[in-house]
Amino acid sequence: MTRLAATRWTAAADLGYNPTAQLSEHPQPAMELVVLVDERNNVVGTMPKGEVHQARTPLHRAFSSFIFRARDRHLLLQQRSRKKRTWPLMWSNSCCGHPGPGESNLDAARRRLRDELALEPILLEEVAPYRYCFTRDGTMENEICPILVGLVEREPRINPDEVEAIRWSEWPDFLRAIERNPEQYSEWCIEEARILAGTPRCHEILRL
């Protein structure tokens, strides 16, 4: 049985994390580093992406993007790859990821959209803040995770190491689906969608 717990505003210090001990003086060039932060989003260190998600994950920077098809404003949903350590095979928003040291959220989102879906957005904006912490199957997600909204003109090509499947959904249908069948979607995707439903800039982009 899946064990699911939700918490809010969990400080890195509360997780027994020592940022000084985790700083990488000589990271390998190919190593993707995650930026560790305090509750005010001040940088306290870095950690290899492959090591950061644990039973008690330190707070770190991330982003979530909701990407819409320009011609009809349908939302791109992805089913997370079975190979992922966190939330495998769960349906979620278009693309998530982590900005590296010195990388903006927008640049990180563009990088991950290319890597996961071979997409180049014609519009991409950060429209709302978000902070969350959830645990599933013994692994915690603990992130300061602003929400981005974008438009694309091309169809995606999935990277099977990152994405299991995709589908397009009309925005109102998706909002109904997360209320009707919340167990099918990641918890952060549900909360972020509710935030976007009340965000004026998202309404402008979707022409609602």
Active site residues per annotation: 96, 143
User: CA separation (Å) from 75 to 40, 92, 109?
Assistant: 31, 11, 16
- CA neighbours closer than 13 Å in the CB half-sphere of residue 89: 2
Region of 21 please: left (phi>0), alpha (psi -120 to 50) or beta. alpha
Residue type, 127: V
Tokens 């700083």, residue?
A: 23
Radius of gyration for the chain, computed over Cα atoms and rounded to the nearest angstrom? 17
Region of 9 please: left (phi>0), alpha (psi -120 to 50) or beta. left
How far is residue 86's CA from residue 143's CA, in Å, rounded to a whole number? 13
What is the rounded end-to-end Cα distance, in angstroms, of the chain?
A: 40
Burial (0-12, 13-18, 19+ Cβ within 10 Å), 193: buried
How far is residue 87's CA from residue 75's CA, in Å, rounded to a whole number? 20
